[in-house]
Each structure stands twice: as C-alpha cells, then as structure tokens.
Amino acid sequence: MGLFDSAEEQARKAGLKKLEDKRLAFAQQLARQGFAPEKMLFAQNDNGGFTALCRFAGKYWLIISPGFGTDDDFILESYDALDWRVEEVLVKSEGMGGIFGFGKKAEEGNEYFIRRHDGSEARMPFVCGRGNWFEVPLAKNPLLKTQRRRGDANVVWDMKPIDRTQVARVVSIAAEYFK
C-alpha cells in the first residue's frame, strides 16, 4: 500500500463521497421546491458539520448538516420567528496560548443558540480560536449547487477561520440574521 492508499484514507474518501451524495440529493430536493435564498450564513460545528441560517419567503430557515462520518441526514426547518439566545464568549489565553500544546488559546466572539421545534438547540458559534464561518450569496452557495463538487469536497472546507481582527465584523453580520 502506498502512502495515500491506507485503510484510513480509503475510509475518509468513502465518508466524503457519502456526505457529498447526501448534499447533492438535498440540493436537488431544495431546487425542486424552489428554495433560493439571496444569502446564507454558515457556522461550523464541533462534529465537522455546520449550521446555516437564512431568510426566504418571509420565514427563517435553519439547515443542519450531518457531521462527518455520521449516518445523519441534512435537516431543513422553517420558523415564522426565531426563539434564540446569545452567549458572549471571552476566554483569556493561558500558559503559552496553546502553542506547542501548552496552555489554552484565547477565544472571543458570540455563540448563538436557536431553539428548534423538538426543543433541542442548534448552535452557531462565531468565536475566534474555535470556529469557521462564511456568509455566501446564492450564486456561490456550495450547499445549493446541484452538481457534484469536484473531489467530493466538504462544504466546511470553504469556510474561513475567524481571525481576532474580524470578530466584531463577523458578530455584526451574524446579529443581522437574528433580527
């Protein structure tokens, strides 16, 4: 076996293909329903998936992706009004600030919690040092593209890390979606 032919690499590629198959079927279903929001806000979750929020046709729409390697499916929920709360996150760095595994990195930003229909909460963390995000217009939305992405790319790969200098801007953009 070559360097890139290990059993772990084959399992990773199979997981990516499975995730892209789910995304493609979900995108095609949304296209048939005419779901085409102008823009959408994404936040990566700890499980390797994401939560996305948008407004379309007078409603709020919440999309929760499956985590990488799980058997879950994409979830789409609509709300006339959002029931949500926000927590400010401010964690000072400790030790060497996480360098070389010593101490803890600093974290700063906001984490939104949206109460879902079943009573659980969907999380959208916009915290530097922890999460990735992006806001994307319809024309460039990788979730809603109805063609297979090259190399079975994961949508979270398109997201950007939140830099300490961007925290205020990212938090301001996120706040607009929760009005």
pLDDT, tens digit, for every residue of 62-93? Answer: 999 998 888 899 999 999 999 999 999 988 87
- Residue 27 belongs to a domain: yes
Nearest-5° Cα angle at 138, 163 to 49:
55
- Residue 37 belongs to a domain: yes
Handedness of CA 139, 70, 73, 56 (dihedral sign): negative
pLDDT in tens, 132-162: 999 999 999 999 999 988 877 889 889 999 9
Residue 163's pLDDT band, with cuts at 50, 70 and 90, is: confident
- The domain total for the chain is 1
Pairwise CA distance, residues 103 & 62, whole Å: 36
Average pLDDT, the chain: 88
Residue 3's pLDDT band, with cuts at 50, 70 and 90, is: low
- Residue 50 belongs to a domain: yes
Pairwise CA distance, residues 66 & 70, whole Å: 6
Above pLDDT 70, what percent of the chain? Answer: 91
Report the helix count and the strand count for the chain, using DSSP H and E: 2, 9
Can you say how many angstroms the Cα of residue 12 is from the centroid of all Cα atoms in its chain?
19
What's residue 145's pLDDT? Answer: 93
Average pLDDT over residues 52-66: 97
- Residue 47 belongs to a domain: yes
Q: Which residue has the higher pLDDT, 60 or 130?
A: 60
Q: Which residue has the higher pLDDT, 50 or 4?
A: 50
pTM for this structure?
Answer: 0.87
**E strand or H helix that includes residue 124:** strand 121-128
Burial of 43 (0-12, 13-18, 19+ CB in 10 A): buried
Range of the domain at 86: 7-177
Residue 99's pLDDT band, with cuts at 50, 70 and 90, is: low
What's residue 132's pLDDT? Answer: 93
- Residue 2 belongs to a domain: no
- Residue 167 belongs to a domain: yes
- Residue 1 belongs to a domain: no
- Residue 61 belongs to a domain: yes
